[in-house]
Amino acid sequence: MDFYLGLAQIIGVHTILGLSAYVVMLTGQLSLAQAGFFAIGAYVAGMLTVLAGFHIVPAMLVGAVLAGLMAFIVGFPALRVKGLMLVIATLAFGEFVRLFFFNFDYQISKGGITVGPLGGEGFRQIRFFPENGWTSLDVMLFVWAVVIIVMAALWWMDRSRAGAVLRAVGEDELAAQSAGINLTVVKVAAMTAGGFIAGLGGGIYAHYTTHIEHLNFGVILATFAIAYPILGGLSNVFGTLVAVIFIQGVLVEGLRFMGDWRNLLFGALIVLAMNVRPRGLFDERATALLKGLFTGRGHART
């Protein structure tokens, strides 16, 4: 049972991570820094609960706000220039954050033991959940409560004017600009929101694994983050959730018997999927088809 609860926690956290990349991707941008924002959220929230004795919720919020702020600072110069510049700037920033935590020591003595991040050794003993008597089930429910809040917020945003503006920029920048949309403001806002959401995810991640280190937040995690919305498609938030369940539940857990070869498969699968379905596994047509099946109309609209 604990195995499935753990899996549900992983899927939940990765869904938050995927959604953080989803927001940025709605504007047609690709951010490889989501792992970096995730790391900022994880370290800040972990330090606040362990070193400063915060409750997890305010700690996560502070971590997320800081991550959002960093996203704003990174996104602003990169997005002023050109689309592809953001990919480079965010890749560099993600590695920068990882190297920063690789070199980051801040330990204090607490109750006879030293706690806090210690460079390459990582940050051990983030024990908020066990200290406060949360069971695996409580943690799982907490993770999914956050997932549902984030998903609902994004779902609502998608239905509102803000969503239409984001998608307009993503579809055709020139047309959006002609309609009086300030491209930089929209993209930077999406980037900031993405950073905030990734920070939230990082905050939870730090607490359920209880041990984080810089290697957890490398390019592979950043690739996972963008792979979810790309595979799931950008038609709605559920595509990302389905992609996370598929990758984490089926590929990562289901293919354990393949050992080493599983890692090879991930890269190969992305290459294959992009050739076969460049607009994502669940693109507009597939979603319309599914909708048709469930509402009994039988035929897709497009």
Partner 1 sequence: MEDFLFDLIDLVQSIADGLLFGTTYAMIGIGFTLIFGVMDKLNMSYAAAAIAGAYSSIAILAVVPAPAPVAFFIAAIAAGLFGYVIYLLCFRFIPLASPLATLMATVGMLLLIDEIIVHETDGMPQPYPALFDDVMVEFGPFGLRGDLMFVFAVSVVSMAVLLYLIYRTRLGIATRAVSQQPVAAQLCGIGLERTNAMTFVITGVLGGIAGAMIGAAVGVLSPLLSIPFTVKGLIVTVIGGLGSIPGAIIAGLLVGAFENTFQFLRGVTERDMYVMLLLFVFLFLRPGGIFSPPDGRD
Could you list the residues that contact partner 1 (CB under 8 A)?
25, 28, 30, 32, 74, 77-78, 80-85, 87-89, 91-93, 95-96, 99-100, 102-103, 218-220, 223, 226-227, 230, 260-261, 263-264, 266-271, 274-275, 278-279
- Give the shortest CB-259-to-partner 1 separation in angstroms: 10
Whether residue 226 contacts residue 273, with contact meaning beta carbons closer than 8 Å, is answered with: no
The three-state secondary structure class of 110 is strand
Report H helices in 52-123: 56-81, 83-102
d(CA 48, CA 55): 8
CB of 91 to partner 1, least distance (A): 6
Compute the least distance from the CB of residue 178 to partner 1, in Å: 16
Nearest CB to partner 1, comparing residues 4 and 261: 261
Q: Which is nearer to partner 1, 74 or 147 (CB)?
A: 74
Tokens representing residue 222 in the block: 């950043």
What are φ and ψ of residue 278, in 5° steps?
A: -60, -20
3-state secondary structure of 114: strand
Query: Least distance (Å) from partner 1 to the CB of residue 96?
Result: 4
CA distances from 155 to 8, 84, 152 (A): 21, 27, 5
Question: Pairing relation of β-strands 108-110 and 117-118?
Answer: unpaired
Residue closer to partner 1, measured from CB, 125 or 236 = 236
As measured in angstroms, the least distance from the Cβ of 229 to partner 1 is 10
Question: Which lies closer to partner 1 via its Cβ, residue 82 or residue 299?
Answer: 82
Nearer to partner 1, 170 or 199 (CB): 170
